[in-house]
Each structure stands twice: as C-alpha cells, then as structure tokens.
Amino acid sequence: MRRPIDSLFGRLALLVVAVLLLSHFAWYALMRLERNQLQARYAVEEATFLVDAVRQHVVRNPDQPLPSRVKLVDPASAEVPPESPNMSPPLERFLEDVRDRMPSGTQVRAGLPGGPPTLWVRGTADHSWIVVPVQPLRPPRSLDRTVLWLIMIFSFAVMAALFAAWALQQPLRSLAQAVARFGRGLPVPPVPERGPRELRQLTHGFNQMVQEVARTENDRAVMLAGVAHDLKTPLARLRLRAEMMDEAKMRDGVVRDVDSMTHIVEQFLVFAHDGADRSEPVEVNAQCERVVRSYRAVASGAPTVETDLRAGPGFCLPAATLDRILSNLLDNAHAYGAPPIVVATARTAEGFTLSVSDNGKGIAAQDLINASRPFVRLDPARGGNGHSGLGLAIVERLVRRAGGEWEIGNHGGRGLRVLMSFPFSAVPQVKAASESVW
C-alpha cells in the first residue's frame, strides 16, 4: 500500500509544515514574553515618574490639591498596607524594580488586593506615604488579532513552501518514472533537464546513459537480425536439397538439423525485434485456451497441458506478445519439464498474474540467476537440439515491455514455474465492439 509520507513531496511537506509551525510558535511565544516585559518596564517607569512628580508637587505647591487617585497617607494610618511576604513573582519583581529606581532606604509596598492597583512609596525624607495608581501587570488579553494574523501568515507560508517543494520534486519524479521505464526495458524519451544544478547534471547523465545503451542495443539487434536474416535463405536451400536425398534415414536427420537451425534463427529474430507490439489486446483467459488447444493438436508427443484460468475478462494483453510468451514457455516446459504443464491466471489486489509451471526436475538454485540471460544454456539437464538459450530471455523482455514483472523459480519441488505479474495500470483495455449501423 502506497503511503503519501513515503514520497519525497510528502516528507518535504511534513518537514516544511513542522518547521513553520515550530518557528511561528516560537515567534508568538517570544512576542508575548517581550510584550509582557515591555509592559512591566513601562509600569515601573510610569510609577517612578508619578512618585517623583508628587514629591515635587509637595515641595513646590504644598497648598494645591493632588490629582485624583493620588494621595498622601500618614504613616500611622490604618490604611497603610502591611508588608506581605506572600506575593506573586511578577508583583515581587515589579516592587523590586521600583525599589531599585528609588533612593536607598525607600519602602515600597503594593496596595491591598480587591481594589484598584496602587503603589505605596515612602522614602527616608518623606513624611507621608505616597500612593499612586499603577497599571495591572497581567491584564486579561484575548488572542484576537495576533492569532488571526499569525494563522494567515502561517497559511500563506505553508502554501508557498508546499508549492516550492512540489516544484523541487517534479524533476525527481520525472526522473524516477524514466528510470522505472528503463528498468522494464521500455523506450525512454529524454527527460527534461530542470531543477537545481546537481539534479540537472544527474538528469543529463541519465539521458546520455539511455542514449548509449539504446545505441548499443540497436547495433546489436541490427547485427543479430542481419545474421539471422541472411541465414534463412541458405537454410531453405539446404532443406530443399535434403528432402531430395534418396536415403530416408540421412534425409530425416538432415531435415531435423535444418529445422533446429531454423528455429534458432527465428528465436534470434524475435529477440532482436525491439519495436512495440501494436497488435490488438485480447482477453488472456480466452487466448490461453486457444493456444493450449492448438498446442495439443500440433505439437507431436506433447505432454498433458492443463489450464486454471481465474483472472476474469478484465485481464488483457497484446495478442502477439501473449502468443510469443505462451509458445516459448510451453516449448520450454515440453523440452525440459514433465507433465502435467499448468497454465494459470489469477486476479490479485494489485493486478493480474499469469503463470506456466511444469512438474519436472526444475533448475538448480545456483542456476536460477542465469536462466533468463541471453544465449545461456544450462547443462546438462536443460540442453538440447534446436535451442539457443533465448526462450526465457525473450519471455522476460516481452513481459517487461508489456509493463509487468516476472519471477522464475522452483515451486514446492515440483518443477519450474514462471510467474508474471501485471499491475492494473499496465493492462490495456479491450475496445468495445462498434455498434451496428442501421
């Protein structure tokens, strides 16, 4: 199951959102802390200024009344608040800051709780307590506009960052898709070179590699096809001359050898063919039944071939590709395996499967890696006349070209099994029959 977090864009998005969220939260916490400190400093400055203003007013204009909420209280009055040892840390810091701004020996107290916040100050030269109003140190604040602006800025930042992450991963996604196509043996068009410098260099190197591999494959295919094509004419003349021989035993032997060589040449031509299969897609189940029926009727001494077709009508492949896959695997099972040979299809959660298995001796575990390599013939159990070592290599190339994957191995000690898997995205759809025209 594909998870979004496993993709580059998913991880970049998660990283970007986490970093932005952390930075915005830290910024918001720092802003509120700084605002509280600024408010506390402002309250200290304001209280200090009011106390100095009252002192100057008393000295210069003793007969003039004081402003409202500012008063002088006799030290013996019962209104004087006691010095409370149990104060909140913010209030204690506030009183300490005010005390530091006053002359040495100044008494600083806070007003009684329950009323308007006041500050009581009495210096060594003061005859009375000076009472001035102060701002609340921690007034209740709603998260109103600050949080609203913070959410807006965070949303725009996330959208811009996600767009940047998407633009960054797009070239990598195109390159990954091209690498996947190249790994399946499909034609790969040049990937656009875009993105950061390192990514452009990587894409340029991949394009060069694809071009060199394609050029090498083309040269090899042309050489192989040319040699195989040139051999067909002398083989045909050789077969004609062999059939004109008088001695039957020698004639049959030569004809068998010519047929084996012709089969090898045809395998060369199929392997060298690198074009896309343009044949119409057919239902795999129905085509398997037809191929197996034809194989039973034509192949001399063919072993028992059974079918177990459960994929349903949705499983379709190009007709030519499917015929070549089945013919090569059936020939391989007929030559090296033992009956019964089973052709099976199935539908899975990811797509469809097609398998061909026999009940022979199978292939040794150390030889499974080399079984599908071109021109490799496993000795001694899997050799024979008329075989070029291309059968399984052709099947692998055809399966990958059709967008599937294949797996070769011995199944439960009962011979060789070739299992081919085709995801839903790689399965072509059968065109609906055209409606009758009245």
Question: Where do runs of H (alpha helix) occur along 317-427?
Answer: 319-336, 391-401
Nearest-angstrom CA–CA distance, 112 and 169: 64
pLDDT at 28 (0 to 100): 76
Which among 170, 162, 148 has a CA at the least distance from the CA of 17?
A: 162
DSSP letter for each residue of 5-60: GGSHHHHHHHHHHHHHHHHHHHHHHHHHHHHHHHHHHHHHHHHHHHHHHHHHHHHH
Beta strands in 319-433 (DSSP E): 341-347, 351-357, 405-410, 416-423
C-alpha angle with apex 56: 50 to 62, nearest 5 degrees? Answer: 115
Instruction: Provide the token pair at 159.
Output: 């959208």
Instruction: Give the single-character DSSP code of 112.
Output: P
**Per-residue pLDDT in tens (0 to 9) along the chain, 438 residues:** 456 566 666 777 777 788 888 887 887 777 777 777 777 788 888 888 888 888 888 888 877 888 778 888 888 888 888 887 777 787 888 888 888 888 888 888 888 877 788 888 888 888 888 888 887 655 545 555 667 777 788 788 888 877 877 877 788 888 888 888 887 667 788 888 887 788 888 889 989 998 888 787 777 666 666 666 667 777 777 777 777 777 777 777 777 777 767 766 666 666 556 556 677 889 999 999 988 888 777 655 556 888 999 998 899 998 888 888 888 888 888 888 888 899 999 999 999 999 999 988 888 777 777 666 655 555 544 444 444 456 687 788 888 888 888 888 887 767 889 999 999 988 887 654 433 333
Nearest-angstrom CA–CA distance, 287 and 418: 18
pTM over 0.85: no
Within 10 angstroms of residue 82's Cβ, the number of other Cβ atoms is 7
CATH of 280-426, picked from 3.20.20.70, 3.30.200.20, 3.30.565.10, 3.40.50.2000, is 3.30.565.10
pLDDT at 430 (0 to 100): 63
Question: Would you give the end-to-end CA distance of the chain in angstroms?
Answer: 49
pLDDT at 342 (0 to 100): 92
Helix (H) or strand (E) holding 293: helix 284-298
Residues of the chain above pLDDT 90, percent: 9
Q: Which residues contact 201 (CB under 8 A, 6 or more apart)?
A: none
Measured in residues, the chain has a length of 438
> If one looks up domain 4-133 in CATH, what number appears?
3.30.450
pLDDT at 222 (0 to 100): 66
Q: Where in the chain is the domain with CATH 3.30.565.10?
A: 280-426
CA distances from 224 to 94, 266, 268, 386 (A): 94, 11, 7, 17
Bridging pattern class, strands 305-309 and 341-347: parallel
* Cα-Cα-Cα-Cα dihedral sign, residues 29, 33, 38, 40: positive
Q: Where in the chain is the domain with CATH 3.30.450?
A: 4-133
Spatial contact of 424 and 350, defined as CB atoms under 8 Å apart: yes
CA distances from 396 to 310, 337, 350, 408, 419 (A): 23, 19, 20, 10, 11
When computed from its CA atoms, the radius of gyration of the chain, rounded to whole angstroms, is 45
pLDDT at 345 (0 to 100): 95
Q: Which residues contact 40 (CB under 8 A, 6 or more apart)?
A: 90, 93, 94, 97, 137
Helices (runs of H) and strands (runs of E) counted in the chain = 8, 11
